Chain A
Amino acid sequence: MKFGVLMFPGSNCEHDAYHAIRKVLRQPAEFIWHQSTDLRDCQAIIVPGGFSYGDYLRTGAIARFSPVMGAVRRFADRGGLVLGICNGFQILLESGLLPGAMLRNRGLKYVCRQVSIRVENARIPFTGLAREGDVWNIPIGHMEGNYTLDADAFRWLERNRQVVFRYCNPDGEITAEANPNGSVANVAGICNPRGNVLGMMPHPERASEPLLGSEDGVRLFQSMIQSRSQA
């Protein structure tokens, strides 16, 4: 399955994602510049982490207006797989492809460490090889990961099973202590109602080889690949 990895000025995780797809998953991948409107027959798009446009105005706020995001929106509308990681998640929120917004972390500090996340929905193309309740060990590194949404909209999100990952302790329990940034209900990742667009703060590409301390991120990419080989 061919992956397209977007590049914005200020992206800095695009090579990590590209490496994970090419060298670990052994799948074709190609970089796509933010000025492009051609997704070159890719079957999945990764919106990578970093500091697109220096995080000016708000994280993801300027990237949203890039030409490539129009193409990504049309791709998502047709059911294409879109994965936003960290700053990529923030861009998907600003673009309206996913609901809600990010606030500064509760502690006002950049948090960079390994966390545990629990798989809450294993019925979407990104988690098909996992089981609900699985605990993944994946790193985070962000300043604005404090996900927020008004209470009514959040209830709707939960009813729709759009919460895909929550921060948990190593035993899989959702506790206040396990929440690194103050995110509502420990949310670490959400999807759109159709399940083909996923945004997550943890970095699966940084947890894809034994050398990196965890391979749990590979299951996410493998799930994506398998979902399309069945289709």
Chain B
Amino acid sequence: MRARVYVSLKKSVLDPQGKTIHHSLENIGFQQITEVRQGKFFEIDFAPELTREEVRAEVEKIAKDVLTNPVIEEFSYRIE
């Protein structure tokens, strides 16, 4: 089973990289964008014998303890 984890800065935290990308996009003609946030993406493959619930528990723990710094970041994930 594969988990896809998305990490991004919390809404309350200013994202200077996202802002810079947004600015550049406007400069080359993409005027309809209201905001850009930059983040990180992880693909994690689990051993096939694990159940979906077991994978879910593992992913939550990995995302909380390692992939994010909870002071500034949040995460979401999908399991497929």
Contact = CB atoms under 8 A, between A and B. Distances in A.
A and B part of one assembly: yes
Interface of A: 57-58, 61, 65, 94, 99-101, 103-104, 106, 108, 148-150
A150 B11 CA distance: 12
A101 B71 contact: yes
Contacts of B13: 103, 148
Given A57-B67, A65-B66, 10 more contacts: A61-B69, A100-B71, A103-B13, A104-B16, A104-B17, A106-B16, A108-B20, A148-B13, A148-B72, A150-B12
A99 B69 CA distance: 11
A57 B71 contact: no
A94 B17 contact: no
Interface string B51-70: 00000000000000011010
Contacts of B72: 101, 103, 148
Identify the interface centre among B13, B16, B20, B67: most chain A CB within 10 Å of its CB.
B16
A94 B72 CA distance: 11
B69 A58 contact: yes
B42 to A, nearest CB: 9
B16 A108 contact: yes
Contact of B69 (A65, A101, A106, A108): A101
B65 to A, nearest CB: 9
B43 to A, nearest CB: 14
A189 B24 CA distance: 34
Contacts of A108: 16-17, 20
A94 B70 CA distance: 10
29 contacts: A57-B66, A57-B67, A58-B69, A61-B66, A61-B69, A65-B66, A94-B69, A99-B71, A100-B71, A101-B69, A101-B71, A101-B72, A103-B9, A103-B13, A103-B14, A103-B16, A103-B72, A104-B16, A104-B17, A106-B16, A108-B16, A108-B17, A108-B20, A148-B13, A148-B71, A148-B72, A149-B71, A150-B12, A150-B71
